[in-house]
Every structure is written in C-alpha cells, then in structure tokens.
Amino acid sequence: MGYVTDWVDAFASEPLAGNGCAVVHDAGNLTDEICIKFVRETSLSECTFLEPSKKADVKVRYFLASGEIPFAGHPTVATVLSLLHQGKIAGGPLTLETGAGIIPIRIDHSSGKPKVVMTQIAPEFGPVLDPKTIADCGSIEPTDIISPPQIVSTGIPFCISVVKDQSVLHKLKANPQATEIAKEKYSPTDWMEPFWVSLQGISHGADTFSRLLMLPPNPAEDPFTGSATGAMAAYLWHHGLIKKPSLIAEQGHWMDRPGQAHVTVLGPAEAITGVEVAGSGHVLMSGQLLL
C-alpha cells in the first residue's frame, strides 16, 4: 500500500539545512512498530504520521526511533508545510491534535515564503536538578552551568541547562551512563536529554545557540529542536535571563544544518500562557511510502 510522504527540512531558510522530518499522510492504520521502523529507516530524529481528527483539523502522531512522543517542534513545522505542499490546507489558521493537546497554527506569508507559527502550550516548570548531575551528562564541570537546571515542558519535558558560553557547548560530550542515572534519579518525570543553551547566537541579531545530544537508538545530535526551544524561551523569560519576551534561537550550525526560529513568550514571566515558535522550511522530496 502507498502512503503520500514528504521529506521536509524544518526551521531552514534553504534546502539541506535545519532539521529533516518525513511526513506520512493518511497513516491511521500503521502500527507503532511500523512507525518506529520507518523512523529508523530514515535515520531522522523524528517523523510524523497524520490521520483524521474529530477534535482538530488534523491529528499528528510523533515518533522517535525509540518510540512515540506527545509533541515535537520541528516535525510540527514540517507537517504544516507538507499539508500546504499537498494542497490539503489553503494557508489559513488550523489546529493540530497532538498528544500534548490542541496546537493552534497560523501561517505567516509576509516574507513571501511560508513561516509556520505554532503556539505551544503554557509551560510546566518541573523540578530543579542538581548541576553536577546534569553536568556529568555532557561531560562538563558544574561551574560551566550558570543557572539552575530545570525540567520544563511546553508539550514534552526537557532539562533546560544554560551554560557560560559557546566554548562550553563546543566541549560537550554525551555521557550515556550519566544521563541514564540522571533520568532515573529524577523519575517519574519522563524527560528528554538536557537541552544545552548559550546566551549568544551564531548569526548577527540572534540571541541563543543550543545543542541537544541524544542517546541511541536516536541520532547522536538533533539539528534543531523546536519543542525544547519553546521550553527554553519560557525558562529564560521566567527566570529573568532575557530582557524581553521575544528572541531569535539558533541550533545546528556546527552540524552544517543551520536552523533558526523566532520565538515569543506569551504573558508575564510569572504567568506564561504559551509560547509562539515560528520557522520556515523546505519540502525536499515528495513520493510514496510503499508498505
């Protein structure tokens, strides 16, 4: 059986940049096992599988190579661009049913190239984690972390870890054993790997640069992580680490996959109501998945 499928580079201003995602349409009859096998086949960090929704315009399921997750940022951008490419939406506002709730989407055409603007849900601020425990996950020193690491979720929980500067990001090296120990120590919260953040961008005018080192069977590093970027912006605004509730976030440049998002935190620092994360992208390939 054939499934219409697009390969989309999300948070990218040009082809072969940002973070790739395969979007599989009309995939409601695919089993979890098949979805996971397909993600592993692509070697991408995530893929989405679409089906009809009774609650929203489209239902989106998000899969890593290790299993299903409730929400992800760059696959959301990829999904909307794929729906546009396939003519399944006209370009107006729409809603997506996800495991993290209903995600409102609008599409900004002002620059001539569609920019997907997703409103991630209000952040949930979880436990503050021991700096040494988190530093061990990236093989750095606790003093390299300049703000208390904290689990934050705008749809999926990440440990937001702000470091001194980009030199610390350069020397990060994933320590799988330490990461598993940290996850076990701070369970039952099922959080993703630490999201490492520096308060300096790569490009002129950018505000942050980040890295996400992942554990097998996922790829070793994620080129751009839209869900973590939303959680990061909420953390920075909530803790007074940025002076205004909007920023330009970058990731992936050192992987030769430069990505950028425009982010706006909604509401006052003590009562955030959501986070807008916006990015462009490029439909790289279209075809059929034959199963």
Q: Do 93 and 153 fall into the same domain?
A: no
Contact 273, 266 (CB under 8 A): yes
Residue 113 lies in a domain: no
Report whether pLDDT(130) > 90: yes
Residue 251 lies in a domain: yes
Residue 185 lies in a domain: yes
Residue 119 lies in a domain: no
Number of domain units in the chain: 2
pLDDT band at 111 (very low <50, low <70, confident <90, very high): confident
Q: Do 157 and 259 fall into the same domain?
A: yes
Residue type, 174: A
Residue 92 lies in a domain: yes
Residue 144 lies in a domain: yes
Distance, in Å, from the CA atom of 219 to the CA atom of 44, rounded to the nearest integer, reads 7
Q: Do 73 and 145 fall into the same domain?
A: no
What b/e readout covers 102-111, taking b as 16+ CB neighbours within 10 angstroms? ebbbbbeeee
Q: Which of 149, 233, 234, 163 is nearest to 192 (CA)?
A: 149
Distance, in Å, from the CA atom of 208 to the CA atom of 217, rounded to the nearest integer, reads 28
The backbone torsions φ and ψ at residue 156, rounded to the nearest 5 degrees and listed phi first, read -150, 135
pLDDT in tens, 233-282: 999 999 999 999 999 999 999 999 999 999 999 999 999 999 999 999 99
Q: Do 14 and 49 fall into the same domain?
A: yes
Give the pLDDT of residue 234. 98
Residue type, 242: I
Q: Do 148 and 236 fall into the same domain?
A: yes
* CATH number of the domain residue 91 falls in: 3.10.310.10
- The pLDDT > 70 percentage for the chain reads 100
pLDDT in tens, 174-233: 999 999 999 998 887 789 999 999 999 999 999 999 999 999 999 999 999 999 999 999
Give the pLDDT of residue 256. 98
Q: Do 171 and 250 fall into the same domain?
A: yes
Q: Which of 262, 282, 273 is nearest to 106 (CA)?
A: 262
Higher-pLDDT residue of 58, 189: 58
For residues 97-120, give the mean pLDDT. Answer: 95
Q: Do 186 and 60 fall into the same domain?
A: no
pLDDT band at 91 (very low <50, low <70, confident <90, very high): confident
Report whether pLDDT(38) > 90: yes
Give the pLDDT of residue 186. 87
Q: Do 19 and 153 fall into the same domain?
A: no
SS (H, E, C) 189-216: CCCCCEEEEECCCCCCCCCEEEEEECCC
Residue 118 lies in a domain: no
| Percent helix, strand and coil across the chain, each to the nearest 5 | 25, 40, 40
Report whether pLDDT(66) > 80: yes
CA distance to 47, 99, 105, 136, 277, per residue, from 77 (Å)? 12, 16, 9, 32, 9
Residue 47 lies in a domain: yes
Q: Do 72 and 170 fall into the same domain?
A: no
Distance, in Å, from the CA atom of 89 to the CA atom of 252, rounded to the nearest integer, reads 29
CA distance to 81, 106, 168, 181, 234, per residue, from 90 (Å)? 11, 11, 44, 47, 31
Distance, in Å, from the CA atom of 96 to the CA atom of 50, rounded to the nearest integer, reads 10
The residue with tokens 């569609």 is 114
Point out the least confidently predicted range of 116-125, 150-159, 186-195. 186-195
pTM metric for this prediction = 0.96
Q: 31 is in which domain, residue-wise? A: 2-99+282-290
Q: Do 72 and 153 fall into the same domain?
A: no
